[in-house]
Structure 1
Amino acid sequence: MREKLRHSFRNLGLGLLCFTVAAQQVAHAQSQDSTFNKKALNDSARKAVKSSYSFQQPDSKIPVLFGTQRKEQVLQSQSLLSGNELLSFPVAQIEASLYGKFPGLYLVQSSAKPGEDAPSAALRGRVPLVLVDGVPRNLNSINPEQIASVSVLKDALATSIYGMRGGNGVVLIETKRGGIAPRRISFTAQTAIQKQLNIPSFLNAGDYSSLFNEALANDGKQPVYSADDIAKYRNGSDPVRHPDVDWYNTIMKEKAALQRYNLNFSGGNEVARYFVDLDYLSQDGFFVSDPNRNSYETNNSFKRYGFRTNIDADLTKKLLLSLNVFGRIRNGNEPGGVDGLLLGMTGTDLIYTSLFRTPNNAYPVLNPDGSFGGNQQFTNNLYGMVIGSGYRPGYNRNLGVDLSLKQDLDILLKGLYIKGKGSFNTYYSELINRSKSFAVYDYMPNPTGTPIINKYGTDGSQNNGSILEATNRQIYTELFLGYDHVFGNHEWNASLNYNKDSFTNRTDLNLDNSALAARLQYNYSKKYFVELVSSYMGLNRYPTNKQWGFFPAAGLGWDISKEDFLKSFKALNTLKLRATYGKSADNSGAGNFVYRQSYGGSAAVFFGNPATSNGSMIEGTLANPNITWESVNKLNAGLDIAALDNKLQFSAEYYRNSYSDLLQQRGTNASGILGNTRPNENIGKRTYSGVELMAGYYGKTGDMNWFVNANASISKSKLDFIDEVTQPYSWMRRTGLPVGQAFGMVADGLFKNQAEIDNSAKVDGYKAVPGDIRYKDLNGDGVINVFDEQAIGSTKPMVFYGLTAGFNYKGFEFSMVWNGVTNRNVMVNGPGTYEFQSIGVGGYGQAFAHHLDRWTPETAATASYPRLTVGTNINNQRNSSFWLKNGSYLRLKNVEFAYSLPQSWISHIKLDRARIFINGTNLLTITPLERVDPEVVAWDYPNQRVFNVGINLQF
């Protein structure tokens, strides 16, 4: 493994050396160019402040698929963000810096586990495709300093040119490139402190044992803790047999470190331009370590090493070469260990799950002789899992190269050009198992002799194995022919391109997406706009005669502000109406040749007398010979307004995306009758619709530049068809309701006494007692069962929004980002909510502070939690409105303060800029939710508040 790491670093280092030397040579050749001066640099910096917050002038170039457009030409639904806005977020994953920035883009971070903390993204209700420099890629290979812009493309006009891969929208990342400018060297160092949010309030041993006895009594069982036991748990007089261990603070640190270092070079002249970036990130987890016991690190952590070199060179006056070389190494680590009772969980996931199932009185951390505490019920010591179970490193890398050539063909036709592009990406991921088992000991002091010690488990030797988790390669090719020309008041832009994306995973056959795409734009006098796009795309995972499809889209626009009757309104710069309609698709669910019937190995079958073993095959999931892509028809209408020299900008959009042929299993025929699993078929239909608003203002008051940018999205969805089973009552139907709508019983308080139970409907298969949750009998048949389940929570459209604002004044800078959501429901249940939940330890699970407010005869009128029981309660723990909570929130996602030292202070040490900054994330959350974070609701790895300080030096 070490050899592989050294080899990878050697290769990366050689590549960096070569390209950096080349860049430095170019820089040196033009560093003395007298046409560049400090004033030009300062002017450029002032422009960057304005463009950083999405205030583009009409002639600004906007990235689109397969090219760029001037802002005034854009008819599609598209939002743009400067990469500079991402730099204030002290996060490990790029996605986490996009909160509150884009209308239509909804983000949820369900886990903050190092290396796996990227939030999930939904663009107008669907998961978008990500492109980096025009090539489908994930975002693991990129860091904020490399990003020039982030574009979110939403409607058919924006994405139909990408055929059956653009149906869910596209997030387009463009990386930075060098320009005609003096050499600039930028170095940024930052260090942060992470603190976990919403730490659970576990019960102390005394309260736990008392409530556990109460739960047993409620279940009709005898108590297991005597009054003397409970007293010893409370007074701490017997820490071995009656421990009270604060497990969270025993195995967790209060804070963890996060560090990032970045070095980049940029510059160039008329012949060659370059951008070189080196980046290092280190993120620690919160587990404690014991260097006296281990020579290796057992804490979970994540480290990333990355580089990128983007070079543009004019080989001739008409021929441009662009070369991107990039790569990264990602190393992760976590404690070892595995538990078969917990579905084979390992490392970090196993520890967090066990933490919610281990009460404070389970066993001591260590026995008097220093051995790990434990007993027959708890055979895996939490502290031992953290520092005594070995470790599990993970290692993955990717390397990519983009090469393109662009040739102007003015000699044939003015405005004509041709471009060829090729990209190669390779990815490798390996998991290494160096875990080991350990024994726990049940230590029973003996006042009259040697202690009685029972051993559970074994002290095993350390494993040394590895698993190839993933290896793949991608080859992307593109040939592009473009034409741009203006004839008086007539402007034409046309392009035709062929592209192919070939992806190979391990030894699988290639997954090939191939497309022929075209775009035609026309505008008259920059007032009337027409755009047509189309693609003819095929995927080799579909049946031979059903691989290709045609996906057209069209858009119209009218800038009313250019009309004569509005020319007197000098303050109005843009008043544009636009509308688009088209067809796109999503082929991500195509599977692996599922139109052919698959067969797999089966257990041996014996025939004959005497019986002999014969090999056998078993039929896999039924084939679907008619499988095809999921289609979508998209309608988008928008209004764009710019005024006051484009300082004030506003846009409003309405969209309606009608999806059909969605892959779903039929609900009307049970697979048990067939004796096999039904395939996914193209039968589902859904509609996503909504309104998106964006408004911003950039202003200048004296020496202060300030800005505010806000957006809001109203997102509605509807299940038009899901082939659900015939329901006897209308309230049971999912069809017609929002996508993902929660279903369950309608809670009607808690039973206060037996009289209420006698006068209420009976729960099917359960005998209710006082303190249980009471449910509404919707069909009035006197029985509570599945026929009384309905949609619960809000069915209103979800509204999410964001605000970015800030200023700079004489070297001082301030910015903040807020994001929020309303009409959002979350189910708060599971081991972090229920009492005494465990696996394999007889129900002796954890309990929490909110269980102190449980129902008892004395608290019947005020209790907020049902009566306590041990283990599973089929009545109280079923999905119902009792556990469905309002998940709305408003969060101060990011704040940054910065100060740039005066030039007079730093010029004598050859510095162009010295900027000191302090920033943080998740600084304030306003929500009606109690106990849980509004995003990490399932009690996974908790969300974090991060405080960060850093410095940026530019030469």
Structure 2
Amino acid sequence: MIKKYINRVLFVSLASLLMLVQTFAQESDSTAVNLGYDIRVAADESAVAVGIASAKDLSKYFAINPSNALYGQIPGLTVLQNGGDFWSSESASMFVRGQANLDNTSAPLVLIDGFERKLSTITVEEIESVTVLKDAGATAIYGQRGANGVIVITTKRGKNEGMKVDISYEYSTNEPFRMPTMMDAYGYASAMNEALELDGQAHLYSKEQLDAYKNGMYPEYYPNVNWTDEVMRNTGFVHNFNTTFRGGTNKTKYYVAINYMDGEGLLKQDRNRENYSTQLNYRRANLRSNLDIQLTGTTQMKFNLAGRISGINQPGKANSENIMSLITGTPANAFPVQYADGSWGGSGIYKENPVADINQTGYGTGHERTLYADLTLIQDLSAITEGLSLSAAVSFDNNVIYWDQKTKNYAYVHRTADIDEITGQLYNFTSNSYGENTPLAYGTAFGGQNRRNDVIIKANYDQVWGKHKLNALALFHADNEVGYGKDLTFNRINYAGQFNYSFDKKYLAGLSLSYSGNNILSENNRFHFYPALSLGWMLSNENFLKDVSAINSLKLRTSVGLSGLEPGVPYLHLPSYGDGQNYYFTDNNDGNSGLQENRRANPDIKPEKSLMTNIGLDANLFGKLSLNIDAFYEERSQILVSEASSTSKVIGVPATLVSDGIVENKGFELGALWQDNIGDFSYSIGAQYSLAKNKIIEQNEVFREWDHLKRTGHSVDQQFGLLDDGFWGVNDGLNGVDNISPDGIEYTYTSVLKPGDVKYVDKNGDNKIDEFDMVAIGKSWLPEVYYSFTLGAEYKGIGFNAILQGASNVTTMLNTPGVYWPLYNNNNISTFSNDRWTPETATTATLPRLSPEENMNNYRASTVWQRDASFLKLRTIELYYHLPESIVNKVKLKRAKVFFRGMNLLSFDDFEMMDPEQTKLVYPTLKSYNIGLSVGF
């Protein structure tokens, strides 16, 4: 009985039948969506902007972290890949309608079954639907948590049917998507000689030594080590098991999911003779139990319990965070992996042997424990007045991480010898020893803890009279979050109300109100008011369109309102203190530091305020085509910026932050899906396109003498650098003794200007090349354009799905040491530098000359190193076969499916060496090949 009332509550006005429109709502209601706080909304009576992905959409991906199943799924949701390890950087970065503030607080609010929780702690198999709330009409009710958008995850629940059991197993092999190709020993030594020569210095390596590297002579003294091959194997693997039980009666419904995955990384352990593993390994077990119990004819209880136990294993030193730095940072000729007597290679310059770091430094094991529990009681109060219900929910969440470590050190040696240029024999042998072998030492470390409690009380009123329908909601939400560390306790309260009215199923109106606050602001600024209004017009229900057979549904909608975002830095209204200068006393002149004020307290800090307007259209045409179009404009104000540019340093206290920043964000989204059946053949073709473009209006920017230096007026994180004008040539008249160019321009970043150095444009005309010549180059690191294409077809149980996803209007700067910026500070060099300037390649070179020193003129942000990071990736392709019932029934099954999936197989881009989404030295992104079986009982 109570379900009837819950399903009729109109929490917010819903907008879109988006690109991938699916009938995914839980239980028997195929026209409702959960938009948070466990409120369900009728899709044909809504007027706000949301995006939806169903369990069927997500199942096309193999993803340890569900965020990696969202690429290209929902217009307006930008999902960017990070590193490829299973436990940290494998989580994707998500943005709703781009970025509208100035710092790193652009992540949306993620709710799982109505409560704020980490998406990484659940599995894809548990998810019924993902709903993205995008405009103020949908997010205002979240008060100071909604400005960055809200992602609402609904997990699966039981149904009134006999028990169904589903079991699946998927095996995945993975390999690096791309890896930098570092130069071999001969290439490195030749490049170093070249760099020294261009710097006017003597060669480091003789011809005989170069020949030894090239020909493999004397490998202990002139080694040629491919560290990538020595450290990493070709493939890793993942086992993924999943079992679900789903069913129930009128009184009790249940959904139980058990998941176990075990994944191994790409490290080689062929030199590990110990009785323990140093392989990168991640193991995880998830358990979820969702219960719906009808306690009485008017009282329902929902109880959700979810837990996760995970474990990480890694070497004592070479973990997933530094493994790529070790591989790419150690030259091929630095030292051999091991000498003939078993000693590990090393040197005074390169103090870490990548292979020894994996095999001989012990191991560490991380443990994470997560518990989610929530209980909801729903009371039907129709006996008091028809359509009234009351619900109360409480939750308790806890997450803790700790480490056990058994680590040790190893001794290593560096042996050298010269080669006689006449006899070719070795002489002048040296040997230097470093470090020492130590036994395993046990240690522990606490990785952190987070605890959270919520209380949510709601009153719902749902009434229909004649052609009128009214839905009303009153809500109280209090939560307490305690993290591990200073200033990580958050208390929040949200009073919210919502009123939705529809007339004759044609005209829709919604009003959302929130009055929310928290403890991290001063008492005078803690609570703020956030209203939003949404309007909709169901044109397809008008008489003049009712008989148009081509139009199944057509709706116009608009919304305007406010939502907020609590400050990313807490407790700015309180003074902050830290260590001050030393003072000395006693006969021994002992020193102790005092305290000093780190920043001035600012009681006027306010939460960010987002004023957003949205206009959209939803249509379903010919019974086959679903269209969605949205355009939006947002002004984000009260953003934290430094007061340093507007406050004198005379006051003697470091600058604080003030709520003066303003950013403009605007764009549009388009989604389309064509679905059709021709006999036994069904197919779908979909596309989506999202544009989100921002501009800084105010950021309290320091005075800049020239307009081309101003960051205000550009996009957030717009890249700035020097404009290059090619390279100086050997015949350009450089005098070789100072930094004055032939045309009289002083190059301030170098003391001597040489052929092969970058020639820059003197933007401000002061005859100097310095920071005052920097201009906006390229775009931001966050794509302005995000798009995808989907294809799917099935014939008599045989089918395929494919998703291609791309991004454009995005720029990155190639400044990774060794991979892109070679040699200086004892860096390595990759084949990327093959395009460097030499006297012979002066007319075709795209990169400056080599130098063994940190050449500040050449290695700095400029158009030389800027690259367009646009890409189009084949995110997933799936081939599957549903076994026919005649075969399945013989083995007492209800259904069976075999499938093959490929993930991240291709990328069309202009990049070399690395993934265009991840150019930092992290564990490489992966492509994978999966095979699986799913059966149902």
TM-score under structure 1 length normalisation: 0.90
> Is 1:945 the counterpart of 2:927 in the alignment?
yes
Deviation sequence 1:708-741 (CA, Å, 0-9, x none): 2221011110000011111111111111111111
* 1:221 alignment partner in structure 2: 201
* 2:884 alignment partner in structure 1: 902
User: In the alignment, which of 385, 395, 414 is matched to residue 442 of structure 1?
Assistant: 414
Amino acid across the alignment from 2:309? I
* 2:936 alignment partner in structure 1: 954
Residues 499 and 516 of structure 1 are in contact (CA less than 8 Å); yes or no, is this contact kept in structure 2?
yes
**In structure 1, the residue corresponding to 2:218 is in which secondary structure?**
coil
Structure with greater helix percent: 1
Aligned counterparts of 2:87 and 2:364: Cα–Cα separation in 1: 14
* 2:440 alignment partner in structure 1: 462
* 2:36 alignment partner in structure 1: 65
Shift of 1:408: 0.9
* 2:703 alignment partner in structure 1: 726
Q: 1:444 to 1:103 in 2, by over 3 A?
A: same
Deviation sequence 1:141-184 (CA, Å, 0-9, x none): 21011000000001111010010111111010000000111110
Residues 815 and 821 of structure 2 are in contact (CA less than 8 Å); yes or no, is this contact kept in structure 1?
no
Residues 514 and 539 of structure 1 are in contact (CA less than 8 Å); yes or no, is this contact kept in structure 2?
yes
Shift of 1:253: 0.5
User: In the alignment, which of 101, 105, 110 is matched to residue 73 of structure 2?
Assistant: 101
Shift of 1:65: 3.0
Residues 77 and 96 of structure 2 are in contact (CA less than 8 Å); yes or no, is this contact kept in structure 1?
yes
Residues 808 and 814 of structure 1 are in contact (CA less than 8 Å); yes or no, is this contact kept in structure 2?
yes
Q: 1:463 to 1:899 in 2, by over 3 A?
A: same
Residues 110 and 937 of structure 1 are in contact (CA less than 8 Å); yes or no, is this contact kept in structure 2?
no
Of 808-817 and 668-677, more deviation after overlay is shown by 668-677
Amino acid across the alignment from 1:134? G
* 1:814 alignment partner in structure 2: 800
Residues 749 and 857 of structure 2 are in contact (CA less than 8 Å); yes or no, is this contact kept in structure 1?
no
Aligned counterparts of 2:731 and 2:768: Cα–Cα separation in 1: 17
* 1:776 alignment partner in structure 2: 761
Aligned counterparts of 2:652 and 2:235: Cα–Cα separation in 1: 53
Shift of 1:56: 14
Amino acid across the alignment from 2:346? G
Shift of 1:676: 4.2
> Is 1:402 the counterpart of 2:374 in the alignment?
yes
Aligned counterparts of 1:671 and 1:792: Cα–Cα separation in 2: 32
* 2:243 alignment partner in structure 1: 263
The 5-angstrom pairing of residues 27-426 of structure 1 reads 51=22, 60-66=31-37, 67-116=39-88, 117-125=90-98, 126-290=106-270, 293-337=273-317, 347-426=319-398
User: In the alignment, which of 554, 562, 577 is matched to residue 556 of structure 2?
Assistant: 577
User: In the alignment, which of 702, 718, 727 is matched to residue 679 of structure 2?
Assistant: 702
* 2:11 alignment partner in structure 1: none
> Is 1:785 the counterpart of 2:795 in the alignment?
no
Shift of 1:51: 2.5
The 5-angstrom pairing of residues 674-713 of structure 1 reads 675-713=652-690
User: In the alignment, which of 535, 545, 556 is matched to residue 556 of structure 1?
Assistant: 535
Residues 646 and 700 of structure 2 are in contact (CA less than 8 Å); yes or no, is this contact kept in structure 1?
no
User: In the alignment, which of 605, 621, 637 is matched to residue 599 of structure 2?
Assistant: 621
* 1:823 alignment partner in structure 2: 809
**In structure 1, the residue corresponding to 2:67 is in which secondary structure?**
helix
Amino acid across the alignment from 1:494? A
* 1:341 alignment partner in structure 2: none
Aligned counterparts of 1:821 and 1:547: Cα–Cα separation in 2: 39
* 1:22 alignment partner in structure 2: none
Q: 1:210 to 1:292 in 2, by over 3 A?
A: closer
Deviation sequence 1:100-155 (CA, Å, 0-9, x none): 11111112213112311111111112321100001011112210110000000011
Aligned counterparts of 1:548 and 1:599: Cα–Cα separation in 2: 27
Shift of 1:64: 1.6
Aligned counterparts of 2:631 and 2:885: Cα–Cα separation in 1: 48
Aligned counterparts of 1:551 and 1:742: Cα–Cα separation in 2: 34
Shift of 1:411: 0.7
Q: 1:57 to 1:784 in 2, by over 3 A?
A: farther
Q: 1:246 to 1:449 in 2, by over 3 A?
A: closer
User: In the alignment, which of 860, 864, 874 is matched to residue 878 of structure 1?
Assistant: 860
Amino acid across the alignment from 2:743? N
Residues 24 and 30 of structure 2 are in contact (CA less than 8 Å); yes or no, is this contact kept in structure 1?
no
Q: 1:461 to 1:879 in 2, by over 3 A?
A: same
**In structure 1, the residue corresponding to 2:170 is in which secondary structure?**
strand
User: In the alignment, which of 451, 472, 476 is matched to residue 473 of structure 1?
Assistant: 451
Shift of 1:378: 2.3
Q: 1:784 to 1:641 in 2, by over 3 A?
A: same
Deviation sequence 1:566-589 (CA, Å, 0-9, x none): 122022122211110001110051
* 2:638 alignment partner in structure 1: 661
* 2:468 alignment partner in structure 1: 490
Q: 1:801 to 1:764 in 2, by over 3 A?
A: same
> Is 1:764 the counterpart of 2:748 in the alignment?
yes
Residues 357 and 846 of structure 1 are in contact (CA less than 8 Å); yes or no, is this contact kept in structure 2?
yes
Aligned counterparts of 1:220 and 1:351: Cα–Cα separation in 2: 35
Shift of 1:601: 4.9
**In structure 2, the residue corresponding to 1:476 is in which secondary structure?**
strand
Q: 1:835 to 1:238 in 2, by over 3 A?
A: farther
Q: 1:760 to 1:101 in 2, by over 3 A?
A: farther
Amino acid across the alignment from 2:157? R
Q: 1:668 to 1:444 in 2, by over 3 A?
A: closer
Residues 159 and 254 of structure 2 are in contact (CA less than 8 Å); yes or no, is this contact kept in structure 1?
yes
Amino acid across the alignment from 1:580? S
Deviation sequence 1:381-418 (CA, Å, 0-9, x none): 11101111111221111111110011111111111111
Aligned counterparts of 2:372 and 2:384: Cα–Cα separation in 1: 35
Shift of 1:423: 0.6
Aligned counterparts of 1:203 and 1:91: Cα–Cα separation in 2: 34
- Ranges in structure 2 where 5+ consecutive residues have no aligned partner: 1-19, 99-105, 419-424, 734-740
Residues 394 and 432 of structure 1 are in contact (CA less than 8 Å); yes or no, is this contact kept in structure 2?
yes
Shift of 1:759: 2.9
Total equivalences in the alignment: 893
Amino acid across the alignment from 1:782? N
Shift of 1:859: 1.3
Deviation sequence 1:321-345 (CA, Å, 0-9, x none): 11000010121122113xxxxxxxx
> Once the two structures are aligned, what percentage of the paired residues are identical?
32
Deviation sequence 1:916-951 (CA, Å, 0-9, x none): 010011111111223321111224222111100000
Deviation sequence 1:656-678 (CA, Å, 0-9, x none): 11001101113415897665432
Aligned counterparts of 1:566 and 1:92: Cα–Cα separation in 2: 47
Deviation sequence 1:785-809 (CA, Å, 0-9, x none): 1111000015898221012220222
* 2:102 alignment partner in structure 1: none
> Is 1:867 the counterpart of 2:849 in the alignment?
yes
User: In the alignment, which of 772, 789, 799 is matched to residue 803 of structure 1?
Assistant: 789
Aligned counterparts of 2:25 and 2:162: Cα–Cα separation in 1: 26
Amino acid across the alignment from 2:385? L
Aligned counterparts of 1:507 and 1:731: Cα–Cα separation in 2: 42
Aligned counterparts of 2:344 and 2:930: Cα–Cα separation in 1: 37
Q: 1:356 to 1:714 in 2, by over 3 A?
A: same
Aligned counterparts of 2:358 and 2:556: Cα–Cα separation in 1: 60
Q: 1:353 to 1:697 in 2, by over 3 A?
A: same
Q: 1:242 to 1:609 in 2, by over 3 A?
A: closer
